[in-house]
Amino acid sequence: MEHNPTLPWYRKLHWQVLMAMIAGALFATFFPEGVAYVGWVGTLFMRALKMIVVPLVLTSITTGVASLGGHGLGRMFSKTLGYYMLSSALAIIAGLLMVNLIQPGVGADLGSAAVEEVSLTTPDSPVELLYKMVPENVVQAIADSNMLGMIFFAILLGMAIGTLPSQHRGPLATFFESAFEAMMKVTGWVIQLLPIGIFGLIAVAVNRFSPSDFAALGKYALTIAAGLLIHLFITLPLLLILLGRIKPTIHFRNMIEPLIMAFSTSSSAATLPVTMRTVEKKVGVSNRTASFVLPMGATVNMDGTALYECAGALFIAQVMGAQLGLVEQGTVVLVALLASIGAAAVPSAGLVVIFIVLGAVGLEGPEVDLIVGAMLAIDRPLDMFRTSVNVFSDSCGAAIIARSEGEHGVDEE
């Protein structure tokens, strides 16, 4: 796996992706006529990513919500879920502000997209948005790319399973957990093909994009990084101060080890054991609180991923020349918030989930795939940063909730 520290450098995914980027760029530069023969590799990889989107998100959300059912009326559950929804929403707002302020996609011509090619399927009003959330036929909703309806159904299904008597809950929970683990395995296989897919995508991109296009990608990366920095160093510290009466400098100092591991592994799941040990031993949170809040956070609290999905979708809309109004951007925000619940705690999970957000506003087609492929090429450092934000938000939630539960010695000098 990506987080295995014993692997030689050339077998680590991020180095393989970097080498694939260089190889794809060189191939397109020196053998432009050969791009037509390798471009299908990138297309096939994008199709594989899309193939796993629905089953992965459906099983992930259902499993995560069902696992919390036994605590559904508990005080700690309410506090934890409330904090995670608040922090994710604030992260999305930070990304929304940055992408509207910087507008990294305006003026870019990635993939030679034209305004008239865009056909948005966003709701015309808040009422229609509610209609899309409650589809008459969930199978038809998935087939029609009504991802908001599918996510809402998965949340309801998970809640229902969690409240069933044990003799009924057990078999259903086991089924969805097993299905989720199977989809995680499939996702791992697809992600391992990332270098091959990147080679084909970069070869096509270099063959079609101009230097100004890659400048737009750099601007996009800076936009995502700016949003993450705001959330990490302004929003979350304010939550620590206002909700937990905790000094952010103390919490940052206590969480250095998990943050470094999160940054290096790009996996909240791989970092979870270190996070739990640190939150208990250094932050001073009780095992009772940490063992509930942190695993739940690794499942449903993905601040950095939610920010990335929202900003990424709006960046693509800007590149395509699509004008997203208040309702359309509200749809993106809502879907990004709900879809982040289904983002598996593994490297590059956001690559899969972003298709959910794009589908919700009708941003689909080969040109969109090409733009997403170019975004994937520069995603690794952003993924490392996103994961650090995810883990830090989880730890902030544990500390805040521990203080609210009357625990002493949390993040004290």
pLDDT, tens only, 180-198: 888 878 877 887 887 888 8
Is the separation of the CB atoms in 401 and 256 below 8 Å? no
Whether the per-residue pLDDT at 145 is higher than 70: the answer is: no
Task: Give percent of the chain above pLDDT 90.
Answer: 21
Whether the per-residue pLDDT at 233 is higher than 90: the answer is: yes
Q: What pLDDT is recorded for position 45?
A: 82
Instruction: Give the integer Cα–Cα distance in Å for 265 and 273.
Output: 13
3 state SS of 135:
coil
- Range of weakest confidence among 111-120, 218-227, 231-240, 301-310: 111-120
CATH of the domain at 271: 1.10.3860
Distances (CA, A) of 19 to 16, 25, 38, 59: 5, 10, 16, 33
pLDDT tens profile 1-34: 445 567 777 777 668 877 888 898 899 889 888 8
- Range of weakest confidence among 100-104, 121-125, 166-170, 359-363: 121-125
Q: Cβ–Cβ contacts within 10 Å for residue 189, how many?
A: 11
C-alpha distance across the termini of the chain, in Å: 38
In which band, very low, low, confident or very high, does the pLDDT at 401 lie, cut at 50, 70 and 90? very high
Whether the per-residue pLDDT at 263 is higher than 70: the answer is: yes
3 state SS of 295:
helix
**Which one has a higher pLDDT value, 290 or 356?**
290
Rg (alpha carbons) of the chain, rounded to whole number: 21
In a domain, 275, yes or no: yes
Number of structural domains found in the chain = 1
Give 48's contacts (C-beta < 8 A, 6+ positions apart).
Answer: 190, 193, 197
- Mean pLDDT in residue range 109-115: 50
Phi, psi torsion values for 68, nearest 5 degrees? -95, -5
In which band, very low, low, confident or very high, does the pLDDT at 86 lie, cut at 50, 70 and 90? very high
In a domain, 123, yes or no: yes
- Mean pLDDT in residue range 164-174: 89
State the chain's mean pLDDT as an integer: 81
Instruction: Give the integer Cα–Cα distance in Å for 150 and 156.
Output: 10
In which band, very low, low, confident or very high, does the pLDDT at 119 lie, cut at 50, 70 and 90? very low
Rounded to 10 degrees, the C-alpha dihedral 73/77/83/89 comes to -70
In a domain, 373, yes or no: yes
Is the separation of the CB atoms in 374 and 258 below 8 Å? no
Q: Cβ–Cβ contacts within 10 Å for residue 5, how many?
A: 8
pLDDT tens profile 357-378: 887 777 777 778 878 877 877 7
Strands of 80-219, DSSP E: none
**Domain range holding 325?**
9-404
In a domain, 285, yes or no: yes
In a domain, 4, yes or no: no
Q: What pLDDT is recorded for position 83?
A: 93
Is the separation of the CB atoms in 370 and 111 below 8 Å? yes
Instruction: Give the integer Cα–Cα distance in Å for 396 and 275.
Output: 11
In a domain, 412, yes or no: no
Of 135-149, 201-215, 350-364, 386-400, the range with the highest mean pLDDT is: 386-400
Of 69-73, 237-241, 345-349, 407-411, the range with the highest mean pLDDT is: 237-241
Q: What pLDDT is recorded for position 113?
A: 44
Whether the per-residue pLDDT at 327 is higher than 90: the answer is: no
Is the separation of the CB atoms in 380 and 351 below 8 Å? no
In a domain, 2, yes or no: no
Global confidence as pTM = 0.72
In a domain, 1, yes or no: no
